[in-house]
Amino acid sequence: MKQLVGIIFIFISLQIVGQSKKKQILFLNHKVDSLQTLLNVERSKSEEKLSNARVQNFNLQEKITSLENQITQTKKLLNESETALSSKNQINKEQQDLIKKLKEELQIKEDSLNLLRNEQDIQLLPDYFYSISDDELIRLFNVKDSDLGENFVSKTDLNLRPKYSIIGRQFFSLEGRIYLLVIMGVDNPNDDHVYVGTSFIACFKLTKSNLILCSKAFNTIDYAYGEFGSPPRLEKFLISGKHQISISLISFYTGMGYDLQGRSIFCMDRNMNFHVGYDEQSHEDDSGNQGSDDWENIDTTFEIEFKPNCNEYYDLVESKYSHNKLKSKRTLRYNPSTHKYEQVK
C-alpha cells in the first residue's frame, strides 16, 4: 500500500513539474513575442526617421538646384546687359541702375546658396550616380611605378611590376556637390615576408559626367600596409563629422607566433587633403605560440565608433576587449589644428 501511495505521489509531482515547465515555456515565448514586437516598433521608427531625413535632404537639394539655375539666369542677363552697354558711348542712369540691381540680386542668391550648402550634412550615396570601371579609376590616380620607390622594384625579376587594384570606393554629397572617395591598393612585386604593399587614397569631384581629381593622391605606406607585398585592408568608410568623412584601413603582420593588426583613420579636410587622425593597434594575439613556453594567452581587440555631438567633428569612442570581454573605453576628440584625435581628459 505504501508503495502504491509513493508511486501516486511521484506521478502527481511529475505532472506538477511538467505543468510548471510548460508555464515557464509559455511565459518565455510571450516575452520573446513582446521583445520582437518592441523590436519591430523601434525598427519602424528608425526607418521613418531615415525616410524623413532623406526627404529633407531631397528638398534641400531641390532648393539648391533651383537657386543655382536662378543664379545662372541672372548671370546671363547681367552679361547681356553689360555687353549691350559696352557698345554704346554713353551710359544713362537707368542702365546703370539696372546693372547695379542685377549685381545685388546675384549676390543675394549666391549668399542664400552658400547658406543652404552649409546646412546640408555630408551624406553617403549609392554607386548608381556614376558608372566607371576600376581600370579607368586607376588611370585617374596617375600613379606611376617610379613614384613607389626602390622597395617596389623586384629583386628577382625586373619584368615583375607592382599590381594596382581598387579596394574601395564611396560616393558622397557635401555642400550640394557629389564626390567619389577611392582607395587604390598596390601589391609589391617582392612578396617576401619583409616586404609590404601600400595603398593610395584620392577624392574625385563629379562635374558634368566627369571625375576630376581634387588633390594629389595620398600614399598610406607610412601608416597602413600589408605583409607579403599585400596592400592594407579597407575596414570601412565613416561619417566622422557633420561635414567630414574618414577611411579606416587595417595593417597586418604575423611572425614569431603573433598576429598583429593596426588601424589607421585617414580624415579629409575642407580642401580635400588627407590627414592621419588616428593610428593605433587594432588586434593582437599569440595563438601561434599556443602549447609552447612563449604562449601568454594574449587576445586583445580594439573597436571604434563615432558618436555625434554638438561640435562639427564627432567624438571617437575606442573600446578595448580581451577574450571578447570589454575591459575599458576611452573617448577621443578631433583637434582641427593638429588634425589628430586626442583623448578627452
Say which residue, 41 or 210, is predicted with more confidence. 210
> What pLDDT digit, counting tens, does each position of 121-131 carry?
888 898 877 88
> What pLDDT digit, counting tens, does each position of 293-330 carry?
999 999 999 999 999 988 889 999 999 999 999 999 99
Q: What is the pLDDT of residue 69?
A: 73
Mean pLDDT of 340-345: 92
Q: What are phi and psi of 226, to 5 degrees?
A: -135, 155
Q: What is the pLDDT of residue 270?
A: 83
| pLDDT above 70 as % of the chain | 68
Q: What share of the chain is helix, strand, coil (3-state, %, to 5)?
A: 40, 35, 25
Say how far apart CA 336 and CA 345 lie, in whole Å. 17
> What pLDDT digit, counting tens, does each position of 228-285 carry?
999 999 999 999 998 899 999 999 999 889 999 999 999 998 888 999 999 999 999 9
Q: Are 175 and 120 in contact (CB under 8 A)?
A: yes
Q: Are 318 and 304 in contact (CB under 8 A)?
A: yes
Per the listing, cell 546640408 goes with 120
pLDDT at 7 over 80: no
Q: What is the pLDDT of residue 330?
A: 96
Give 23's pLDDT tier (boundaries 50, 70, 90). low
Q: Are 234 and 266 in contact (CB under 8 A)?
A: no
213 bridge partner residues: 204
Q: What are phi and psi of 113, to 5 degrees?
A: -65, -45
Q: Model-level pTM greater than 0.85?
A: no
- Contacts of 209-214 spanning 24+ positions with Cβ under 8 A: 209/130, 211/130, 211/132, 211/137, 211/140, 211/180, 213/140, 213/141, 213/142, 214/179, 214/272
User: CB neighbours (10 Å) of residue 263?
Assistant: 22
Q: What is the pLDDT of residue 90?
A: 52
- Backbone CA torsion sign across 142, 144, 147, 151: positive
Beta strands 325-335 and 315-322 are: antiparallel
pLDDT at 213 over 70: yes
Q: Are 198 and 229 in contact (CB under 8 A)?
A: no
Q: What is the mean pLDDT of the chain?
A: 82
Instruction: Give the lowest-confidence range in 18-22, 94-98, 296-300, 322-326.
Output: 18-22
Helix (H) or strand (E) holding 57: helix 2-86
Per the listing, cell 531615415 goes with 50
Q: What is the pLDDT of residue 41?
A: 60
Helices 2-86/93-119 angle, 10° precision? 160
Q: What is the pLDDT of residue 17?
A: 44
> What pLDDT digit, counting tens, does each position of 36-88 carry?
665 566 566 556 655 555 555 556 666 666 667 777 777 777 777 666 666 55
Beta strands 299-307 and 244-255 are: unpaired
Beta strands 177-187 and 123-125 are: unpaired
User: What is the total residue count of the chain?
Assistant: 345
DSSP letter, residue 88: S
Q: What is the pLDDT of residue 117?
A: 46
Say which residue, 29 or 266, is predicted with more confidence. 266
